[in-house]
Structure 1
Amino acid sequence: MQLNLKNAIVFFDLETTGINIAADRIVEISILKINTDGTEETKTLRINPEMPIPKRSSDIHGILDADVADAPTFKEVARELATFMEGCDIAGYNSNKFDVPLLAEEFIRAEVDFDMTKRKFIDVQTIFHKMEKRTLEAAYKFYCDKNLDDAHSAEADTRATYEVLKSQLDRYSDLKNDVEWLSKFSAHNRNADFAGRIIFNDKGEELFNFGKYKGKKVVDVLETDPGYYGWMMNGDFPLFTKKVLTNIKLRNAFNQG
Structure 2
Amino acid sequence: MFDEFVVLDFETTGLDPATDRIIEVSALKYKDGILIDEFHTLINPKIKIPYEITEINGITNAMVKKKPTIDEVLPKLLDFIGGLPIVAHNAPFDAKFLKYNVLRYYGEDTINNTFVDTLAIARKLYPNLRNHKLETIKKHIKMDVDSHRAYDDTLVTAEIYLKYCNVLGQNRADRTDYERKTIKNEIELTSFSELDFPTRSKKKNQVIIKVNIIPNMLI
Give the corresponding residue for 1:105: 100
Instruction: Count residues with an aligned counterpart.
Output: 196
Which amino acid letter does the alignment assign opposite residue 26 of structure 1? I
Partner residue, 2:123: 129
Query: For structure 2, which runs of at least 5 residues remain unmatched after alignment?
Result: 169-174, 213-219
**2:183 is the alignment partner of 1:187:** no
Q: Map of 1:33-182 to 2, 5 A cutoff? A: 33-35=29-31, 38-95=34-91, 97-111=92-106, 115-117=110-112, 119-131=113-125, 132=127, 133-142=131-140, 144=141, 146-171=142-167, 173=175, 174-175=179-180
The separation in 1 between residues aligned to 2:28 and 2:19, in whole angstroms, is: 26
Q: Secondary structure at the match of 1:28?
A: strand
Q: 1:237 aligns with which of 198, 208, 214?
A: 208
Structure 2: distance between partners of 1:125 and 1:9: 17
Q: Which moved more, 1:65-74 or 1:31-40?
A: 31-40
Distance 1:46 1:141, change over 3 A: same
Structure 1 runs of 4+ with >6 Å offset: 180-183
Quick one: which amino acid aligns to residue 139 of structure 1? I
Instruction: Please give the per-residue CA displacement for 1:79-107, whole angstroms capped at 9, x wherever unaligned.
Output: 11111111211001111x20111111112
**Based on CA coordinates, which of the two structures has the bigger radius of gyration?**
1
Question: Mapping of 1:205-216 within 5 angstroms?
Answer: none
Q: TM-score of the superposition, structure 2-length normalised? A: 0.75
Whether contact under 8 Å (1:175, 1:182) holds in the other structure is no
Could you list the per-position Cα deviations for residues 99-134 of structure 1 after superposition, in whole angstroms to 9, with x for gaps in the alignment?
1111111122222766222x2211101111245252
Residues 1:82 and 1:183: Cα distance change in structure 2 (over 3 Å): farther
Letter in 2 for 1:194: F
Aligned partners of 1:191, 1:229: CA distance in 2, in Å? 23
Structure 1 unaligned spans of 5+: 198-227, 245-257
What is the TM-score of this pair, normalised by structure 1? 0.65
**How far did residue 149 of structure 1 move?**
3.7
* Richer in strand (by share): 2
Percent identity of equivalent pairs: 29
Q: Which secondary structure state, in structure 2, belongs to the residue aligned with residue 237 of structure 1?
A: strand
Do the aligned partners of 1:122 and 1:182 also contact (CA within 8 Å) in 2? no
Q: Deviations over 1:121-178 (max 9, x none)?
A: 1110111124525221222333x3x1454011110110111012222344575456xx
Structure 1 Cα separation of the partners of residues 66 and 18 of structure 2: 24
